[in-house]
Structure 1
Amino acid sequence: MRTAFVPLIALAIALGASSAIAQEREQVKVAFEHALPNVEGKKIVAVTVTYPPGGKSLAHHHAASAFIYAYVLSGAIRSQVGDGPAKVYHAGEWFYEMPGSHHAISENASDKEPASLLAVFVVDSKDGPLTRPDKGP
């Protein structure tokens, strides 16, 4: 009986650890997607990104053709794009990313309050996925 119980404990610990990791990551939801009727081959995609307290995204690149406008909806977001300095943007502030930019830091600046942003992509219709995490070492 005891030996059957040990794997269940290990599974519960593993699930708890993966749940804790998932709680630190962002939640991304597509809010809107539409072809641009006056710009052949382009579309606009709006996504909401919600960070729990202390939450962050992995360093990443976006689709090569993507121009991104980001507007902070709530809380404060720490962001570093390319070789620029990391900056904190508060609700009502915005930043943008040029096509091909590297997003080294994207995270909630608070470990107590959630934060969210609206990211609007103008991207080639056939270019995807919108975000690619950096490859590990």
Structure 2
Amino acid sequence: MLKLRALAVALLLAAGAANAQQTPPEAQVTSLMTKALADYPGKEATVITVDYPPGGESAVHRHHAHAFVYVLEGSIVMGVRGGKTITLTPGQTFYESPDDIHTVSRNASRTEPAKFMVVLLKNSGAPIVTPVH
């Protein structure tokens, strides 16, 4: 009976570990500033950083904004619906239009973290990101 119980616990732990490995780590988003744009009534600029742990990624989403990405550390893979998927390294940039669906946004490495900055030009008070299902 003790061996059966130990086997059941081992199987449950293995199943939990397998499920944890299937779910990629999430990004950490830090808001740095938001500033109303006086020359463009109803618009604002928001600056954020995104930190991806090794293997980290974001779900498919959109910004409803002009999004300018600048890679600070590591390497990231970016792509929008209908466009090419590209890998970016520190100092490289990426752009998303307000109409783009961001289909690929992930850390290119499973062993090293990655970090990038994003400047978003958007409607005042609008959310930074909207999930797309």
- TM-score (norm: length of structure 1): 0.78
Q: Counterpart in 2 of 1:102?
A: 101
Map 1:57-76; keep pairs closer than 5 Å. 57-63=58-64, 66-76=65-75
Unmatched 5+ stretches in structure 1: 1-11
Instruction: Write out aligned runs for 1:72-83 (5 A).
Output: 72-83=71-82
Structure (1 or 2) with the larger CA radius of gyration: 2
Whole-Å separation in 2 of the counterparts to 1:30 and 1:17: 33
Contact 2:75 2:109 in 1 (8 A): yes
Structure 2 counterpart of 1:78, one-letter code:
V
Structure 2 residue aligned with 1:31: 32
Identity across aligned pairs (percent)?
35
How far apart, in 2, do the equivalents of 1:38 and 1:55 lie? 37
**Distance of 2:22 and 2:59 partners within structure 1:** 12
Q: Is 1:44 matched with 2:45?
A: yes
User: Residue 24 of structure 1: SS of its match in structure 2?
Assistant: coil
CA distance in structure 2 between the aligned counterparts of 1:72 and 1:116, rounded to whole angstroms:
6
Runs of 4+ aligned structure 1 residues displaced above 4 Å come to 15-23
Please name the residue that 2:87 is paired with: 88
What is the alpha-carbon distance in structure 1 between the residues aligned to residue 56 and residue 48 of structure 2? 17
1:77 is displaced (CA, Å) by 0.6
Is 1:55 aligned with 2:56?
A: yes
Aligned residue for 1:45, secondary structure, equals strand
| Secondary structure class of the residue paired with 2:39 | coil
CA shift in 2, pair 1:19/1:88, >3 Å = same
From the superposition, tell whether residues 44 and 19 of structure 1 become closer, same or farther in structure 2 (CA, over 3 Å): farther
Cα distance in 2, alignment partners of residues 41 and 18 from structure 1: 44
Whether contact under 8 Å (1:77, 1:88) holds in the other structure is yes
For normalisation by structure 2, the TM-score amounts to: 0.81
Aligned twin of 2:8: none
CA distance in 2, matches of 1:27, 1:62: 16
For each residue in 1:38-67, what CA deviation from the matched residue of structure 2 results, as whole angstroms up to 9, or x when unmatched? Answer: 21111000010000001000011112xx10
Amino acid at match of 1:79: M
